Structure 1
Amino acid sequence: MHIDRNRALPRVLFLAPPRWHGAHCTMRSLGRLGVRVYALEHRGTSPSNTSRFCAGTVPAGDNGRPIGDAAGIVEDLVRAGRRLGAGTILIAGTDEWAVFVAEHADELAREFSLPRPSADLVARLASKVGLFEIASGYGFPTPRLVVPRSLDHVGEIAPTLTYPVMVKPVVSRPDVDSKAVVSGVAELLDYAGAHAESPHDPNLMFQEYIPGTDADVWMFTGYFDAQSRCRAAFTGRKLRQCPAHMGHTSLGVAEPNPELVEQATAFLSAIGYRGIVDSGYRFDSRDGTYKILDVNPRVGGNFRQFVSANDLDVVRALYLDLAGMPRQATEQLDGRMWLKEDSDVVAMVQYRRLGELDLKTWLKSLRHIDEGATFALDDPMPFVSAMALVVTDTVAGRWRRRRRSLRTAPAAAARWAA
């Protein structure tokens, strides 16, 4: 893609925690066009901030999250915007940041260019309950769900559900994103007791489980301008997920799905959405519909899975639009394969344990990767840093399990002796 580098190109500030790979994917996508992309300061290892396309960092929030004094965070961002220059484009990389930016858009817009969806809409889309209410209200298919008011309420409704059931947090955060498929009442009660945030506000929801395989999970990602017109629309499938069968994309492919594009763009335009969206759907063979699972009001980590014939992705579409150089994406490049290397190593182990993947098949699936989340010959450090984190996390996890077993062994021996 060519853009006029003789004109001043606005800078970008990307908001995300240390391990959010969407940050360095954004840095690479825009950096290769000559755009300077900045990130937040982080504690500890941050693969994105090691990228040669990271132009620098700014302080705001707590380790890449909008936690703490909201007024202070806004002040830090406004100060950063003044330093980076007029027209700096602000991009949220997580639901937390998307909600925060939407809530404080009036103050931030004094120094930044940014999409302006309504704060209420962003907050509701970031909540599974809000999404269910919006989709149902507009007549778009979505799985049925129940939200318990408390742990006591879990005990009341558990016997009334149809199993299996998908359990998710109502509001996801970087430290709260676990999910599971449970097969019965006892398993549901055990899971809820272990994962509830509090007895009176568990932040859990029980969602209808739609049968199928990973191949039935579809993605739609797009960019909608200030008039809610779709400037870029892409669809594809998850081939592998991490955790297996219920996590983020570790291996994905871009595939055309005109029916899903029509459904997704109609829904998002109808609700007046503006900005980048990352959404998940599952095809339900029981009634032949695509059911909305998630609509994340921000850029997805795997957005580079999707590129158009005129070399646009959703981040480039947003940037060019807000920089006064709008372009419409042409047809997507179908068959484009994208890999998140560190996650796919973990996914391979998990699918292998399930008896669904062997080493030879896994290696064969890596032959035709078009782009990796971390690996790039012209930008090697994010890959090195990410794989080092896989090793240290694995060692640390095994050490924790070993310590737990050593602590429980004497108690077990005493019970046996008794």
Structure 2
Amino acid sequence: MNDKHAAVVLDLSANGLGIIKRLAERNIEIYAFDTEKSYRIGKTKLATCSPCPSPLTEEKELLDVLITLGKKQKHKPVLYTGADDYVIFISKYRKELSNYFLFLFPDHDVIEQVLDKQRAYNLALKHNIPCPKTFIIKNEDDMKTAIETLEFPCILKPVLGHEFRKIINKKAILIQTAEQLQAEYPTYQQAGDLIVQEIIPGDNSCFYKVATFFDENMNLLAQFSLQKNHQFPAQFGTGAHIVSKTVPELFDICLPFFKAIHLKGVAMAEFKKDPRDGVYKFIEINPRFWLTHSLTGAAGIDFVYLYYLSMTEQQPIPHLVQKDGVKWIYLVRYYLTYLTKRKQEGMTLRDFLSGFKGEKEWALFSLRDPMPFVRSAYSHLVNAWKNKRKEK
């Protein structure tokens, strides 16, 4: 392997740390950046870490930081990210950054489409992909149509989740009644545009993800699918305990779709299987490495390494067959989800402990540097305690 190129990772969440861990196993030199709060929790001995300006509010300053680093490198570093803020930033300044870094993203208009939930749903429907009933409310008539069509409870989701969560740290808002929707929609709308959507029945295990890596010429270099077991928060959240699982039907849906929209680079789509009709229904697309991507390495398809090889023109062999049954566990989130489900859904301690059986990939823990795991667990537990006090 030619490892003369360093790697630069923009993101020190569990997502970015998963990228760093995989690269460190290959003894690749790594530089990692994130904004101050994320840097304090996620900084790791496995990389040269620094806080950086915000990609949302300090674009020019962040660009200067990266270009300064790039100019010091003998060979162009490979640029990675696991967060939408940085995806938008890199895409926006791709011309300037490509002079100093190696990376592969879809065209900017494709990125804007798939990160905008309203446009992404329209795109999916255009390609005959089933979706949950979804409404945009711009006036009283739209509100009336949504109320008459939807069954309650339903959910509010931000159109641009990465921007909405900077103001209101929620992935979705549960709406129990039509009266609540009418009362709360204007308040949440102040934080960003929203869609109103039906809730597809079924527990966390009905969620599936499909990931792909297409090269510049839309040749498929990697594919992977997984099933959620638990997520955090338990109702509307991100993965806490998942398992690698080949789902051919979803490859049949996603591969033609991604090719049609030229979704090159690394991307992931989420679906929920509707128990009412057995149909997989589209939830969202992320044009980047996703939270649980580190499972791919344990399951025999290392997206992080394949991306490095491809960007440095080392012609990786396509990896299209995965090992099923490998678990990915974000320990503190899995524990907090268990506490919630123990009360609401009857999840027992035995159920919780059985989740550790078999081959595993830990989301954060690394014997080479356990401190990001310790800091993240502490932060999650403190926040859970504060939220519990607020509820009293």
TM normalised by structure 1 equals: 0.85
The one of 254, 261, 283 aligned to 1:293: 283
In the alignment of these two chains, the number of paired residues is 386
Q: Percent identity?
A: 21
1:169 and 2:158 correspond = yes
Q: Match for 2:92 among 100, 103, 106? A: 103
Corresponding position of 1:408? none
The Cα of 1:214 is off from its aligned counterpart by: 1.9
Q: Aligned partners of 2:359, 2:340: CA distance in 1, in Å? A: 21
The question of whether the paired residues in 2 share the 8 Å contact of 1:15 and 1:97 is answered with: yes
**Residue of 301, 304, 328 corresponding to 2:294:** 304
Give the letter for the 2:102 counterpart.
S
Tell me what 1:322 maps to.
Answer: 311
The code of the aligned residue for 2:185 comes to A
- CA deviation after TM superposition for structure 1 residue 392, in Å: 2.7
After superposition, the Cα gap between the structure-2 partners of 1:337 and 1:180, relative to the gap in structure 1 and judged at 3 Å, is same
Unpaired runs of 5+ in structure 2? none
Give yes or no for contact 1:12–1:38 (8 Å, CA) kept in 2: yes
| 8 Å contact kept, 1:92–1:101 | no
Structure 2 equivalent of residue 126 of structure 1: 115
* Separation in 2, partners of 1:31, 1:270: 35
Counterpart of 2:10 (choices 7, 11, 15) is 15
Aligned amino acid, residue 317 of structure 1: L
Contact 2:36-2:52 within 8 A present in 1 as well: no
Structure 1 residues 263-282: aligned runs within 5 Å = 263-282=253-272
Q: Which moved more, 1:386-395 or 1:31-40?
A: 386-395
Alignment check: 8 A CA contact 1:166 1:207 kept: yes
User: How far has the Cα of 1:169 moved from its partner?
Assistant: 0.7
The residue that corresponds to 2:53 in the other structure is 61
TM-score by length of 2: 0.90
| Matches for 1:17-416 after TM superposition, within 5 Å | 18=12, 20-44=13-37, 46=39, 49-57=42-50, 60-62=52-54, 66-149=55-138, 155-164=143-152, 165-173=154-162, 174-175=165-166, 176=168, 177-197=170-190, 202-307=192-297, 311-327=300-316, 328-368=318-358, 370-397=360-387, 401=390
Partner Cα distance (2:21, 2:195) in 1:
37
Letter in structure 2 aligned against 1:61: P
**1:85–1:385 Cα change, 3 Å:** farther
Shift of 1:286: 3.9
- State which drifts further: 312-321 or 115-124: 312-321
**1:253/1:73 Cα in 2 relative to 1: closer, same or farther (>3 Å)?**
same
Q: Following TM superposition, by how much is the alpha carbon of 1:103 offset from its aligned partner in structure 2, in angstroms?
A: 1.8
Q: Do the aligned residues in 1 keep the contact of 2:224 with 2:320 (CA within 8 Å)?
A: no
**CA positional deviation for 1:239:** 0.1
Q: 1:189 aligns to what SS in structure 2? A: helix
CA distance in 2, matches of 1:334, 1:247: 23
Deviations 1:330-378 (A, max 9, x none): 4111000010112112211221221331223212222335111112223
Gaps of at least 5 residues in structure 1 are 406-418
Rounded to whole Å, the distance in 2 between the matches of 1:303 and 1:108 is 24
Shift of 1:235: 0.7
Contact 2:56 2:85 in 1 (8 A): no
Q: What letter corresponds to residue 237 of structure 2 in structure 1?
A: G
Change (3 A) 1:80 1:319: same
Q: Secondary structure at the match of 2:258?
A: helix
Distance 1:211-1:41 versus aligned 2 partners, 3 A rule: closer
> What are the Cα deviations for residues 37-86 of structure 1, in whole angstroms up to 9, with x where unaligned?
221154246476432212333x5422xxx122433332322222223443
2:158 & 2:60 partners in 1: Cα distance?
A: 27
* Deviation string, structure 1 residues 15-50 (Cα, Å, up to 9, x no partner): 12x5x2111111110110011222115424647643
- Aligned residue for 1:374, secondary structure, equals coil
CA distance in 1, matches of 2:211, 2:288: 10
CA distance in 2, matches of 1:45, 1:116: 24
Larger-Rg structure: 1
In the TM superposition, what whole-angstrom CA distance separates every residue of 1:138-192 from its partner, at most 9, and x where no partner exists? Answer: 2222223112236x67754453231132321111115244313433202323442
Partner secondary structure for residue 273 of structure 2: strand
Instruction: State the Cα deviation string for residues 259-285 of structure 1 (Å, max 9, x = none).
Output: 211211111111111111122011234
